Amino acid sequence: MFIVSNYPLAIIFCFITMLCWGSWGNTQKLAGKTWRYELFYWDYVIGILLFSLVSAFTLGSIGTEGRGFLQDLAQADTANIGSALLGGVIFNAANILLSAAIAIAGLSVAFPVGIGLALVLGVIINYIGSAKGDPVLLFGGVALVTVAIVLNAIAYGKQAKQAQKVSSKGIVLSLVAGVLMSFFYRFVAASMDLDNFVSPAAGKMTPYTAMFIFACGIFVSNFVFNTFVMRKPFEGKPVSYSAYFKGSFKIHLVGILGGLIWGLGNAFNLIAAGKAGAAISYGLGQGATLVSAFWGVFIWKEFRNAPKSVNTYLLLMFLLFIAGIGLIIAAGS
């Protein structure tokens, strides 16, 4: 299988993760003009599962190092399979709750609260599980990225033309989503032998196998989580499965593309974790919040008519983000 052999390449892979995790939302934005989020989410999940299979039978099955996908899957312990599967279930629950929180509380509150909390707690949890990298530099970088996320929230708040009352339900959903999101990666990482991808310990899985099991957890749990949200949506009227099958091929393809993009980022992140460490890989990946902000500022022009003071917040946000990423990279070098 393909293995990342050095730290600089691992960091490049983490940057690709950041770009993918921060960019897949553009597909939802495109589909959202005519397509309910609950329906889009099915295609998104299918895209993640498809990518996990493609990567498993290509990069995960070539070369002489490590175990091939089918061989690795056959020897995996039940406990490790269950750990990666649980990671998928937790991620899916967190992702759906975060989406509901955005619908209720707005992006400027829900996303920074949810992902900001996931970033901070996730790095701590993954560092405890696999201590790799200088903790001072690592957590210093996390602190700077966190401040950047807060500035992003302030900028969104100032952009709003009219102040909106935020319900306590939206805040609670954001907090629960953030806590759940911080745990999913640790369960997936625990199913792999992070110290040796070349000759993984018996029972442990390679990143490609773990990614496939993780994707299965997302897909299977979606029949429970998304079905519930479809029948009892946090906003709008209930939507049926018949509406999904009435969608055009093009609209389904947009959702699948979103899943493929996120899946690429997740696969590269897991592959990089062997050299960078779980905490650094996860921390860099969750910097996707600022990539998403980049799309909003420069591509979608969300701040076109914003007050001049907002530009100051945006500039500070990007500077702190770059500085924070620099510290996180230095922590593992």
Phi, psi of 205 (to 5 degrees): -110, 155
Render pLDDT for 70-128 as a digit per residue (tens, 0 to 9): 999 999 999 999 999 999 999 999 989 887 777 676 555 666 677 778 888 899 999 99
Beta bridge partners of 205: 192
d(CA 264, CA 15): 12
- For the chain, give the number of residues: 333
Residue 304, pLDDT score: 75
Strand, helix or coil for residue 67: coil
Q: From 300, 222, 286, select the one nearest 29 (Cα to Cα).
A: 300
Residue 212, pLDDT score: 98
Q: Name the stretches of the chain with pLDDT < 50.
A: 162-163
Contacts of residue 298, defined as CB under 8 A and 6 or more positions apart, other chains included, come to: none
Residue 163, pLDDT score: 45
Residue-range domain boundaries for the chain: 7-332
d(CA 215, CA 49): 5
Residue 60, pLDDT score: 96
Q: From 84, 64, 89, select the one nearest 73 (Cα to Cα).
A: 84
d(CA 288, CA 18): 5
Contacts of residue 154, defined as CB under 8 A and 6 or more positions apart, other chains included, come to: 313
Contacts of residue 190, defined as CB under 8 A and 6 or more positions apart, other chains included, come to: 80, 83, 129
Contact 4, 332 (CB under 8 A): no
Residue 162, pLDDT score: 43
d(CA 25, CA 77): 35
d(CA 298, CA 315): 12
